[in-house]
Amino acid sequence: MSTHTLPRCTPEEQGVSSEALIEFVDSLEQSGQEIHTFMLIRAGHVIAEGGWKPYTPQSLRLSNSVSKSFTSAAVGFAVSEGKLSVDDRVLSFFPERTPSEPSPGWSDMTVKHLLTMSTGQTEDPVYRFMEREDGDWVRVFMDTPVLEAPGSRFLYNSGASYMLSAIVQQATGQTVMDYLTPRLFEPLGIRDIHWEACPRGVTVGGWGLSVSTEHIAKFGQLYLNKGIWNGKKLLPEAWIEESSRSHIANGDDPNNDWSQGYGYQFWMCRHGAYRADGAFGQVAIVMPEQDAVLAFTAAVTDLAPVMDRVWETLLPALNERKEAMPANAAGHAALADKLVALALKTEGNRVSPDNRKIARHFIMEQNEACIQELTIRIDSLTYKLDIVQSGVVRRVELGQNDWAINEWNTRNRKIRFSASAAWEDENTFVMTVRQLETAYKERFEFRIDGDKLAVTHKKEFDVFPSRIFALSGEARAASKIYNEVKTEDKLLAITFDDGPNPEWTPLFLEVFRKHGAKATFYVLGTNMEQYPDLAKRIYEEGHELGNHSYSHPHLPELGREEQFEELLRAEKLIVEAIGTKPNTFRPPFLDVSDDLLSVAEQFGYPIIHALNTDSRDWETPGVEYILESSRAGVRKGAILLFHDGFGDRSQSLEAISILVPELIEQGYSLVTVSELLGIA
């Protein structure tokens, strides 16, 4: 058996018919429950596996309470190494946290009572963990009264699982994550996983472990093998036996898989099986009598119908025979076709109304999600949604009646999610987002009423109750082109293109500082990458940054998608440098097209031209020529254009050094473009 991946073979080689497995998969789809992935092992070989698109058995998944069974294994390793015993008193590990007046029964609680969830507590303390400001979850557990005799009654208790992790750390000097790495994870080839920790650095134990379906299946196979992996004993057989038998009753319904007894952080099942079981259907079922392991992930609120399908449809196929069956090329090909075509349905219709209703730029009213703007674009295969949230621009690609995979970088790690969108009716556009590492599902409903947009958001299959919030906004009118603003006030905006430039920009800044004036700098993304600190200085000195594209191409010659990327890349760099998005856009060469106007509208940008374009200062025509041409454009509300980047800007600098004090002497206030547009 390979360390890294489990061996594969046809079902028939392990005595199972491909047709029976097709029937089993069909039964899962007909159960009314949403299965995401599964892997079936027989005699140490994977005989079937699949994922309902967009999920795959090899992708990491938050396993929820399957984590408890891994924590149980950590206790088993510690017991086998003599670090602790299941009969050790819980109080002995944390004498300094012992309550001053412990409730009756506290002195009798042992590690075994934690393992079997029979602590004698009448509530699960985990729900109060987050309320503890100093992060001392052990203290919360210890402060929870023990009102019944430990060992007398089963009560599901995630706090007890956390305590097992804390005890292993106390006994070994390592977190459960670190302790299991050389003992379990590395031997099984389980890599690139993560496990949440509490504020004090203790692996949370009862939840929070992200592993793949294959990782869960390997773990189940290790237990089926009685602790042996690749011929090497990892866990003692005696520990496996104790973990996988019932130690305490949890019900008396013979047909209920939650009433078959509880072991050491494992649930007993019907038919002599047992399982690791996480919320919303993250499960590994170990079936010793059938020499099989079934692992699956899901997003279900009721696992019982799925378990019923396992016993009613899969179990007979596994029980039919154990020796190899004759080769079945046609049946295996049909199974392969079935598995490769698995996909979750997307919401909405396949016939869309006029997409122009939704393909617009919307300004959102103030909301709890801090979403300021939404822009939706459409191409032949996908929708693209750009979100401005707290000044940061994020893009989501949405499959049209399909799933598109997205990846966002966060402070701690990458988040992978899939998204799909479709029309539900002629005025309702629906977006579904699935976080690929969880069962979580988010649904966004966009309701269009003329220029008005109402968005409703709901999150499902979270460990917390479903949450709903609503947004409202309005489409912004098509981008306008400004070279001046009508006003009776003596206001004027001077602008600079193609910077920031480390040689010339500081000299222009000094002129404006000297005279207490403001300007607007239309910056290029390529220069922003090199000189972000200079851009920050411009902003901090009270000037404005505008978008001038990323690389200064002739935008009308590009397609809409390329135009959008040019503006988006530049905008992101501006946001990174100064923490806020630009308000306006100036196209390179002052050239626009219908497509570019539409793209600018999606960003919410007015397009800024100027009244003195014939000054051609970028061609260094002479200081007097620049001045004469610029003076001709001076009037109330005018926008003037100069350059602080690309080449020798000495003539522009000399002209500005003369023009700025001259305009101020004439009574003009030199303001930013946004200030000027504010009175438009």
Among residues 36, 113, 643, 644, which one is catalytic?
A: 643
CB-CB contact of 510 with 635 (8 Å): no
Residue 434 to residue 420: CA distance in whole angstroms: 9
Dump the DSSP string for 247-303: -B-----TT-TTSS-B-SS-EE-GGG-EEEEETTTEEEEEEGGGTEEEEEEEE-S--
Alpha carbon of 482 to those of 388, 490, 571, 582: distances in Å?
24, 17, 20, 16
For residues 657 and 626, give the distance between their C-alpha atoms in angstroms, rounded to a whole number: 12
CB 331 within 8 Å of CB 19: yes
Catalytic residue among 497, 498, 617, 644: 497
DSSP sequence for 101-136: SPPTTGGG-BHHHHHTT--SBSS-GGGGGGG-TT--
Question: Cα separation of 4 and 304, whole Å?
Answer: 32
Three-state DSSP class for residue 401: coil
Paired sense of beta strands 669-670 and 491-499, if any: parallel
Q: Which residue has the tokens 């402070």?
A: 411
Residues 6+ apart with CB under 8 A from 470: 367, 454, 455, 456, 457
Helix (H, G, I), strand (E, B) or coil at 69: helix
Q: Is 34 exposed, middle or buried (0-12, 13-18, 19+ CB in 10 A)?
A: buried
3-state helix, strand, coil in the chain (%, to 5): 35, 25, 40
Instruction: Confirm whether 643 is a catalytic residue.
Output: yes
CB contact at 8 A, 369 and 376 = no
Q: Do 195 and 177 meet the contact criterion of CB atoms below 8 Å apart? A: yes
b (16+ CB within 10 A) / e for 77-97: bbbbeebbebebebbebbeee
Widest CA span of the chain, in angstroms? 100
Instruction: Compute CA distances 242 → 10, 49, 76, whole Å.
Output: 33, 30, 10
Terminal Cα distance for the chain, rounded: 73
State how far the Cα of 282 lies from the Cα of 258, in Å rounded to an integer: 15
Q: What is the DSSP letter of 556?
A: G
Distances (CA, A) of 237 to 79, 226, 241, 265, 526: 13, 5, 6, 16, 63
Instruction: Give the tokens for residue 191.
Output: 């890599």
Strand segments, DSSP code E, in 401-451 are: 404-409, 414-425, 428-435, 441-449
CB 125 within 8 A of CB 140: yes
User: What is the rounded distance in angstroms from the CA atom of residue 419 to the CA atom of residue 99?
Assistant: 50
136 in active site:
no
Residue type, 638: A
Other C-beta atoms lying within 10 Å of the C-beta of residue 258: 16
What string of H, E and C letters represents the secondary structure of 41-68? EECCEEEEEEECECCCCCCEEECCCHHH
Give me the residues paired with residue 546 across strands: 522
Give the span between the Cα atoms of 421 and 424, in whole angstroms. 9
Catalytic residues: 497, 643
